[in-house]
Structure 1
Amino acid sequence: MVKTNEPNLTVTSKDVQKVPAQALVVGIGQTPGGPVLIDSPLSSKAASALAASLPLLGVTGASDEIHRLPGLPELEAQTLVLAGVGKVSAGDPLSSEALRRAAGSAVRQLAGTESVALALPAATVADAAAVAEGALFGAYGYSEHRTDKAKIKEPVNNIIVVTPAAEDKALKPALERARILARAVNATRTLVNQPPSHLYPETFAAAAKDLAKPLSAKVKITVMDEKKLERDGFGGLIGVGKGSSRPPRMVKVEYAPLRAKAKLALVGKGITFDSGGLSLKPSAGMQTMKCDMGGAAVVLNALLAIAELGLPVKVTAWLCLAENMPSGTAQRPGDVMTTYGGRTVEVLNTDAEGRLVMADGLVAASEEAPDVLIDVATLTGAQMIALGNRVSAVMGEEGVRDAVKAAADRAGELFWPMPIPEELRASLDSQVADIANHGERFGGMMTAASFLREFVGEVDGVKIPWAHLDIAGPAFNEGSPYGYTPKEGTGVAVRTLVAYAEDVVARSV
Structure 2
Amino acid sequence: MFINAEASLSAIARDLRKNPSDAVVIGVAQGDGGPLLLESPLSAKDAEAIQSTLGLLGMSGAPDSLIRLPGIPELNTQIIALAGVGKIGSAAPTGEQLRRAAGSAVRQLAGLGKVVLAFPAPTVAEFSAVAEGAALGAYSYTEHRARSGEAAKPNVVRAVVLSPIAGSAAADAALQRAAAVAKAVNTTRTLVNMPPSQLYPASFAEAAKELAKGTSVKVTVWDEKRLEKEGFGGILAVGQGSARPPRLVKAEYVPAQPSKAPSVHLVGKGITFDTGGISIKPAAKMDEMKSDMAGAASVLATVLAAARLGVRTKVTAWLCIAENMPSGSAQRPADVITIHGGTTVEVLNTDAEGRLVMADGLAAASEEKPDVIIDIATLTGAALIALGTRTAGLMGDTSVTAALKDAADDEGEAAWAMPLPEELRAGLDSAVADIANVGDRPGGMLTAGIFLREFVGKNGDGSTIPWAHIDVAGPAFNTGGPWGYTPKQGTGAMVRTLVRYVEGLANSRS
- What code does the residue aligned with 1:163 have? S
Cα distance in 1 between the residues matched to 2:456 and 2:74: 63
Offset at residue 8 of structure 1 (A)? 1.8
Cα distance in 1 between the residues matched to 2:248 and 2:349: 23
Instruction: Out of 14-23 and 414-423, give the one that drifted further.
Output: 14-23
User: Which residue is equivalent to 1:474?
Assistant: 475
Is the contact between residue 275 and residue 281 of structure 2 (CA under 8 Å) also seen in structure 1? Answer: yes
User: Which residue is equivalent to 2:99?
Assistant: 100
Offset at residue 101 of structure 1 (A)? 0.4
Mapped pair 1:185 → 2:185: yes
Cα distance in 2 between the residues matched to 1:256 and 1:89: 46
- What code does the residue aligned with 2:274 have? D
Cα distance in 1 between the residues matched to 2:375 and 2:3: 26
User: Which residue is equivalent to 1:500?
Assistant: 501
User: Which residue is equivalent to 1:3?
Assistant: 3
User: Which residue is equivalent to 2:120?
Assistant: 121
Is the contact between residue 224 and residue 246 of structure 2 (CA under 8 Å) also seen in structure 1? Answer: yes
Cα distance in 1 between the residues matched to 2:141 and 2:311: 30
- What code does the residue aligned with 2:80 have? L
Offset at residue 251 of structure 1 (A)? 0.3
Q: Give the root-mean-square deviation of aligned CA atoms.
A: 1.0
Number of residue-to-residue matches in the alignment? 506
Q: Deviations over 1:206-241 (max 9, x none)?
A: 0000000010xx211100000110111100001000
Cα distance in 2 between the residues matched to 1:21 and 1:258: 41
1:20-59 aligned at under 5 Å gives the runs 20-59=20-59
1:64-213 aligned at under 5 Å gives the runs 64-90=64-90, 92-149=91-148, 152-213=152-213
- What code does the residue aligned with 2:60 have? T
SS of equivalent residue, structure 1 residue 239: helix
SS of equivalent residue, structure 1 residue 246: coil
Offset at residue 9 of structure 1 (A)? 1.5
Mapped pair 1:229 → 2:234: no
- What code does the residue aligned with 2:122 have? A
User: Which residue is equivalent to 2:398?
Assistant: 398
Offset at residue 41 of structure 1 (A)? 1.6
Cα distance in 2 between the residues matched to 1:444 and 1:150: 43
Mapped pair 1:305 → 2:297: no
Offset at residue 116 of structure 1 (A)? 0.7
Q: Deviations over 1:7-41 (max 9, x none)?
A: 12111112334431111100001023110101122
- What code does the residue aligned with 1:493 have? M
SS of equivalent residue, structure 1 residue 55: helix
- What code does the residue aligned with 1:66 have? L
SS of equivalent residue, structure 1 residue 289: helix
Is the contact between residue 457 and residue 463 of structure 1 (CA under 8 Å) also seen in structure 2? Answer: yes
1:427-446 aligned at under 5 Å gives the runs 427-446=427-446
User: Which residue is equivalent to 1:319?
Assistant: 319
Offset at residue 314 of structure 1 (A)? 0.9
User: Which residue is equivalent to 1:486?
Assistant: 487
Q: Deviations over 1:131-182 (max 9, x none)?
A: 0100000000101111124551111001111111113221111110000001
Is the contact between residue 32 and residue 89 of structure 2 (CA under 8 Å) also seen in structure 1? Answer: no
- What code does the residue aligned with 1:253 have? A
Offset at residue 480 of structure 1 (A)? 0.4
SS of equivalent residue, structure 1 residue 365: helix
Offset at residue 74 of structure 1 (A)? 3.2
- What code does the residue aligned with 1:122 have? A
Offset at residue 354 of structure 1 (A)? 0.1
User: Which residue is equivalent to 1:449?
Assistant: 449
Is the contact between residue 125 and residue 168 of structure 1 (CA under 8 Å) also seen in structure 2? Answer: no
Cα distance in 2 between the residues matched to 1:5 and 1:82: 25
- Specify whether residues 339 and 131 from structure 1 end up closer, same or farther in structure 2 by C-alpha distance, changes over 3 A only: same
Is the contact between residue 202 and residue 246 of structure 1 (CA under 8 Å) also seen in structure 2? Answer: yes
- What code does the residue aligned with 2:143 have? E
Offset at residue 76 of structure 1 (A)? 1.5
Cα distance in 2 between the residues matched to 1:73 and 1:252: 55
Offset at residue 93 of structure 1 (A)? 2.3
Is the contact between residue 428 and residue 435 of structure 1 (CA under 8 Å) also seen in structure 2? Answer: yes
- What code does the residue aligned with 1:258 have? A
1:281-300 aligned at under 5 Å gives the runs 281-300=281-300
- What code does the residue aligned with 2:266 have? L
Cα distance in 2 between the residues matched to 1:419 and 1:304: 31
Is the contact between residue 137 and residue 185 of structure 1 (CA under 8 Å) also seen in structure 2? Answer: yes
Is the contact between residue 15 and residue 41 of structure 1 (CA under 8 Å) also seen in structure 2? Answer: no
- What code does the residue aligned with 1:488 have? Q
SS of equivalent residue, structure 1 residue 78: strand
Is the contact between residue 265 and residue 372 of structure 2 (CA under 8 Å) also seen in structure 1? Answer: yes
Q: Of 218, 221, 229, which aligns to 1:220?
A: 218
- What code does the residue aligned with 2:95 have? S
Offset at residue 421 of structure 1 (A)? 0.5
- What code does the residue aligned with 2:255 have? P
Cα distance in 2 between the residues matched to 1:229 and 1:74: 65
SS of equivalent residue, structure 1 residue 462: coil
SS of equivalent residue, structure 2 residue 89: coil
Cα distance in 2 between the residues matched to 1:352 and 1:301: 25
1:330-341 aligned at under 5 Å gives the runs 330-341=330-341
Q: Deviations over 1:248-299 (max 9, x none)?
A: 0000111122323201111000000000000000011412000000000000
Is the contact between residue 4 and residue 142 of structure 2 (CA under 8 Å) also seen in structure 1? Answer: no
Instruction: Out of 52-61 and 252-261, give the one that drifted further.
Output: 252-261
Is the contact between residue 2 and residue 207 of structure 1 (CA under 8 Å) also seen in structure 2? Answer: no
- Specify whether residues 257 and 75 from structure 1 end up closer, same or farther in structure 2 by C-alpha distance, changes over 3 A only: closer
Cα distance in 2 between the residues matched to 1:258 and 1:127: 30
User: Which residue is equivalent to 1:245?
Assistant: 243
- What code does the residue aligned with 1:413 have? E
Is the contact between residue 16 and residue 119 of structure 1 (CA under 8 Å) also seen in structure 2? Answer: no
Give the gaps of 5 or more residues in structure 2.
none
Cα distance in 1 between the residues matched to 2:155 and 2:378: 28
Is the contact between residue 3 and residue 190 of structure 1 (CA under 8 Å) also seen in structure 2? Answer: no
- What code does the residue aligned with 1:250 have? L
Is the contact between residue 16 and residue 74 of structure 2 (CA under 8 Å) also seen in structure 1? Answer: no
Offset at residue 411 of structure 1 (A)? 1.6
Is the contact between residue 337 and residue 345 of structure 1 (CA under 8 Å) also seen in structure 2? Answer: yes
Is the contact between residue 17 and residue 73 of structure 2 (CA under 8 Å) also seen in structure 1? Answer: no
Cα distance in 2 between the residues matched to 1:278 and 1:203: 24
Instruction: Out of 118-127 and 463-472, give the one that drifted further.
Output: 118-127
Cα distance in 2 between the residues matched to 1:399 and 1:125: 28
SS of equivalent residue, structure 2 residue 445: helix
Cα distance in 2 between the residues matched to 1:81 and 1:426: 58
Cα distance in 1 between the residues matched to 2:285 and 2:331: 20
- What code does the residue aligned with 1:456 have? V
Offset at residue 73 of structure 1 (A)? 4.2
